[in-house]
Amino acid sequence: MTVGIALKELWISFRLLAVLVLFAAAGVLAATAPLLPAIGLSPEGGAAALYARALAVAAAGAAALGGTAFAGERRRGGLGWLAARSIPRSLLLLGWFAALAGLALVGMLPSAMLTWLAMTGEPAFGLRGVSPVVFGVALLAAMADAVAWIAAGLLVGIFLTARLAGAVILLLLAAILLLGTLVPSLATYLPGAGIALLAEASSGSPGLEAGLRAGGVGLLITALLLAVGIVTLRRRDL
């Protein structure tokens, strides 16, 4: 019920379309990778790296859109209206999370397929021996990162106004990515490790173990953020 309401609110405010377009665009961009050498460009890491970078932007955008929408609903009284009807606050947060995470996953699947097709079209694809299983595991880890970022966005939306929430979310995620770049040993434990593994998929280097670990970290962080969000929302005035 709360998922339906969240989806409707996102649809009415055009955010639903924006989230889907962001993720779809990531795949379309990756699909252009085999064509770029013809115009003098050669993206490092090929289609997979291009997809990973675009995916990071898309996930950050989805988190910011989700956080601002949630903050706006809190401000407008929509969450209060539902809570006054004895709908548990935990369900309100989980409903919004499920709606946004569902959209992200629906957007990622076709874009990932486009990326895989683009990868198979690259000249060195056969030499690198890229396994679809490894790519699939890296993709799952990237999905876990995306939903972790969405959970972070909703958590920020509990605290801040809609105007501030979007900017703070983007800054926060940029800081996480920067930290992972500056301290590589920490990168494995940050939400973003899966996306980084996806960037290396064209080279065939990420192993299954790394992918599974990154996916596990992403899901664990998601669960922790949601738990903190539920506890926080219960104490906030609506």
Nearer to another protein among residue 8 and residue 163 (C-beta): 8
Closest CA to 104 of 154, 168, 164: 154
Pick one of 5, 98, 109, 162: the residue that binds another protein (CB under 8 A): 5
Identity at 131, one-letter amino acid code: S
By the rule CB under 8 A, 87 interacts with another protein = yes
Nearer residue to another protein within complex by CB, 34 or 229: 229
Beta carbon of residue 85, minimum distance to another protein (angstroms, whole number):
5
Q: Which is nearer to another protein, 41 or 76 (CB)?
A: 76
- Selected from 123, 127, 182, 237, the binder of another protein by CB under 8 A is 237
CA 8/CA 12 separation, integer angstroms = 6
**Amino acid letter for position 59:** A
What is the pattern of x (binds another protein, CB under 8 A) and - over residues 18-57? ----------------------------------------
Residue with tokens 């990778």: 33
Interaction of residue 88 with another protein, rule CB under 8 A: yes
Give the residue, chosen from 34, 78, 211, 229, that forms a contact with another protein under the rule CB under 8 A. 78
81 binds another protein (CB under 8 A): yes
Among 9, 16, 142, 155, binds another protein (CB under 8 A): 9
Among 83, 109, 117, 220, binds another protein (CB under 8 A): 83
Contacts with another protein by CB under 8 A lie at 1, 5, 8-9, 12, 76-88, 235, 237-238
